Structures are given as C-alpha cells and as structure tokens.
Structure 1
C-alpha cells in the first residue's frame, strides 16, 4: 500500500505534542489512536503528570474547537449541555449551547461530577447528541471526550458507572516520566517562559475525518476476528483457559470491547503504515482497551494483582492460530 499523504501529518502531530509533553510518548500515541478510531478516552494519573497538558497539546496542533469543563460536585447537567434561556426581547425561550458543543471536550476530573451530570455526558458520548427540553441537538461530526481522573482522591468523588466506563474506547494510564525526560521537561518549561515558540502540526478537521475514513478501510482477516473474539471470551469464561485466571476475573468485557479492539488495532496498523491488522497490533492496544472493562475478584485484589497483570496472563493463555 502506498503511504497515504495524511500519515506523515499524523506522525508530525505526535512529534509536536511530544515536544510539549516530555516523556509521555506512549500516552500521546494512544490519544492519536483514539482520535483516528473516533473514540473517547479516559486519562488516569496522579496530579501533576501532564494529563491536561497532553489534551491541550493535542488540541493546539489541530484546527479544532476545544472546550474544557472543570467538574465539581455542585454541577448541573445544563452546565455541560447548555439549556433554555428566556429572551426578554422576543419573550420566548431559546437554547444556549453548552461546552459539550465542540470538537474536543476536556472533562477535567470527571469523577467529581454527580450522577445526573455524568448521565448527560453519557448521551453525548453514546449518540453524538444531547436532549434538552424534549428537543434533540446534534453534536459536531468530529466529537471526542477526553476525560481525566485522579486515581487516589476519594473525598468528593463519584465513581463512574459501568455503563459510562464502557463508553470510553480506551483508558490511558499516565505514569511518572523517566529521570532524563524530567530533566528535558525542566529545560522545555524554561524555554516556554522565555517565549520560545514550538512547531505546530496544524491538522484540520477535514484531514482528521479523511484519516478516520482511511482507518476504516484497513483490512482485518477472519483469523484476526477470531483472535479478538477469543480474547474477549477469555475475560468472560476464564475457567476455560486457566484456573488461576478464573480466580482473578470477576466480570468480563462487553461486546463493545471487541469493537474497540478492532477499531484501535486498525488505527495502530494505519499509524504503522499498514493496510492490514496483525496479532501484534491487537496485543499492542489490548491493555488500554480492556483495563477498564474487566472487574477483578477479591482474590486478585488481595494478591495485589493489577488489571494489566491479569491481561498479561490472559494474552499468554489465548493462542494465536
């Protein structure tokens, strides 16, 4: 397959974002994969690890509209969707659009919002629309929610319901950078304060949509489909594969997980200049797709097993034929 003229632009996008978020190349790659796969991302990490900066970096390298919502316990659904406002001049109600009407929506600390607010966002994520006052309003065709979450603070937070967790295509974990990367980060921040300009990829919305269409054309063989289904089956019926695996998994993944594996694998293959998916593509994105869709048992938690370690075992048990 000849290299698409769009591929170098997305490789450039990653390079430019990596200039502003030092030492998080894997995180940036996963955000671009989700963008190409038309999915939403839950970004989880401790405070100060550049979760918000990564999203801002992605948006600043695209000619796309970014809105940010800082979620708090006292929020109302209208703070996300917008609502009807009385116009004294026309003596009628008119709909004022909320921040959800954007290409990229940064939902900062999403688990601080109460259930009603999260439900309002759920409709937008699932159906690309919002309903207010009995009227449905469509969101932009390019619409992506990038939600951040702090894994340690519990006071004043509301756990995301399983239905909403499943709507996220990927859960991206942001970890501490390496020492050398942190040193480079200090230099980069000093340069920013001195006004040094960084390169900008300048991707347009139309180019992103064109690339998304190309990703949908990446071919997936019947054997790869079977591999995806076998992996998901192993999360639901782990006793068929290993007694130890069965003791670790309490609840398996939904059919959305299979769809997400397919979408992300095709995006990953396209970014690597291939028009077909390989088993390595599936394994490369499996953790990000599955880690928020598998519920661990008490045995796993007591043994200090993480979801990623369980997925490691799962991938070893499911054979590629």
Structure 2
C-alpha cells in the first residue's frame, strides 16, 4: 500500500519534504497540496508532485482521502491544522513549533489523549542526526553520568526581521529539545547573559547571548547562541561526564593543504548540515503512519520545548536572573 500524503504549506521546507517523499523515500506519495499562496503550491506541484491535487483550503485537504498530513505552514497555523488532523484520525507530522504557545501545545496533548493513541510527530530532526545519535551512545557507554554540557549554535547572519526573542524560539529551540533527549532529563531553570554586542547585529537584536539551563538531575548546560558569527553555520556540543568527555563530531569535509595552509571547509547552510536527518525523520514518520500512528518526537516534547522557550525569553528580559521552569507530570500516553 502506498500512503497518500497531504502537505500543508509549500514554502522551502514543505517543497523539500515533498521532494523527499516523492523522489527519495519509499512507501508514500504526496497526492495533495495546500498553501495560502497558491503560486507556491503550483510551483511545488510542477517541480515535485505533478499528480497532486491543489486544495485552496487546508481543512478540505485534511478531510480528503489522504492517509497522513504534513504541516509545514506558518507557525501560527500549526495548532489549528494539527488539531484538525487528530480529529480526522490521521497521523500528522508537524514542523516546529508544535504551537506558538504552551497552552496551544497542551490542547494538542489533550486531543491526542482523548483519541487514546499518538498521532503527532514534531519535526525535531536533530534526534535523527548520526552525530547526535553517536553522542547519545557515548553518554551511555563512555562519559558516565553527565555533569555539564557546553554547546554552541552559530549562524553566519540573520535578516532585519530577526529580533532577540527569536534566538530562543527559532534557534535555541533545537538545543532545548535535543539536549533534553541526550540527557533523558528535564529542565528546572533558565538564565540568559548578554556579552558585548556584535557590531554585525542590528539594533533590534542582542547578539550573541549565552543561555544557561539546569536540569532536574543537576546538570548545568551553557549554550552560546551567536547568529551573526559571519564565518559559517557551526553546531557544537560537548558533554562532560564523571568518567570522560564526548563531543559532537564535525560534519564530513575534505581537508586541504594549499598555499602553506591546512584547511577544512565550514558549512554555511543549515539544510546541508542536517540533510540526512530530514530523510531519517520522515522515513520514521511514514513507517509509523502506515500503522496509523506516529513515532519520534512527541506532542509532549513539543510542549516541553514551548514551556522551556517561554522561560528562556523571560530570562532574556530579566538578564542574569534565574527563571524557574515548572512542568506537570508527563501523561502516560508519552511514557
């Protein structure tokens, strides 16, 4: 059986997922497309899904004969469409954020609990990155119990529309999820510190910043977020444990010797850094969707990320002051 997939939102990531499903992965086909800008859907249809039907209304797409739904639209619409997919009983892959508020994520959790099974996978693709998978194994086999994590998320540049809170909601959100997954632990507090501002940061952005998170088991995490670092896209993570240290491997690159310089290229595009991870996460989703359920990062993970991100933004506003992170008990559905 070939799964029929509907894609809501055909911007860059929606088009790339459509290409991935129709040209790279097996067992599924994109048969329905929707975008608030119909020209985007038409472009996606022309380039990657010539047999797909274009729907002008996302709810009509969800109600059609598709077996599963990808929500890749503007973040403000995610909650609405995910809830509609759950109501229709259809597995749903949702790009982050799951919802733009913690309350919205809680509503999605409540809807899944009412159905009694998982239907939602959140697009935290770093859990599928081979480097992070190896790092998680090293935590188990090499480092002993973690004591500290030193991490960095650096982008070469951002646009004028990128403002200070986006360093949390759009950038750090990946570390918030993947570090929690690496440690199998939850956060209890957040602090934010601002070093001297980079001259490349525009007036509405404080950059760089350092976020300090503490976990329930006492692990202290510092994450440097530097979105105008200029030199490239650079993701770093080092776990310091009782018995050893493990570091995220660098992406594969050719080492060169030329002009008396030993060099290695640094990536500049995040899509290149995690290209394999997108393949693996969607393959996982399609495999589960064929069984009528979902795999991978859960709606609960999306909720925890939202709560933590809200605390980090509050910590930005009260620079240096710890902000407590309170989480309710995790529902049994997500154990």
Give the TM-score, by structure 1 length: 0.28
Give the TM-score, by structure 2 length: 0.28
Which structure's residues are more often strand, by fraction? Answer: 2
Which structure's residues are more often helix, by fraction? Answer: 1
